[in-house]
Chain A
């Protein structure tokens, strides 16, 4: 596809239910980021992958949050035993990696809006 694709677009979960959110990055993009965006706020960093390696997971809010990217392309963000405070839009972004400290543009998916009831 031409851009970053996320599914599902919307997810309603009952409190205590486990959810899995999927991200298909742009083909060939080495870097993949997950962000959490609460209503009326800016996105907040959750975790970063370089290919299949999870290099930074410092933003994950609790051990109920788990992310993987086993083959270095598609990534899944899993939230166990969901709670109301997990309600937010979860954004995935991918970018090329040029090495060193140089950033390239991060392309965002449309996000998954998670509502925990």
Chain B
């Protein structure tokens, strides 16, 4: 089955700096890669996703890049703000009925 590795497990950055979280996946058939943000005690919420037919997608301060050959994808957050502090999960799926396989999460801490 699919295996998703996520690094780092904890990331501390100064407010206003950029943050980058990286994930790798093992199943070349995976074609959908969402990123979820989960605040303490709350539900995971989708912040951005990318499909395998594109290499990059951007939404304001958030961007995701995908390298299908190397089987890795990354989340980039620019101009970080205190409200960006949360746990971020990457995930991969082959689509349709296939469930999401999640990474173990990155605890992002924004230092004021």
Contacts and interface: CB of A to CB of B under 8 A. Distances in A.
Interface residues on A, range: 20 to 34
A110 B42 contact: yes
B43 A56 contact: no
A18 interface: no
Contact of A48 (B32, B36, B45, B97): B97
Interface string B77-105: 00000000000010101111111111111
Nearest to B29: A101
A43 B97 contact: no
Contacts, number: 68
A42 B94 contact: no
A88 interface: no
Name the prevailing secondary structure of the A interface residues. loop
A33 interface: yes
Interface string A1-25: 0001000000000000000000000
A59 B102 contact: no
A50 B46 CA distance: 21
A109 to B, nearest CB: 6
20 contacts: A4-B43, A33-B99, A35-B99, A41-B104, A42-B105, A43-B100, A43-B102, A48-B97, A100-B96, A101-B94, A102-B96, A103-B34, A103-B51, A103-B93, A103-B95, A103-B96, A105-B46, A105-B49, A106-B34, A111-B43
Interface of B: 6, 31-32, 34, 36, 42-46, 49, 51, 89, 91, 93-105
Given A99-B96, A105-B49, 6 more contacts: A41-B104, A43-B100, A100-B95, A101-B96, A102-B95, A103-B31
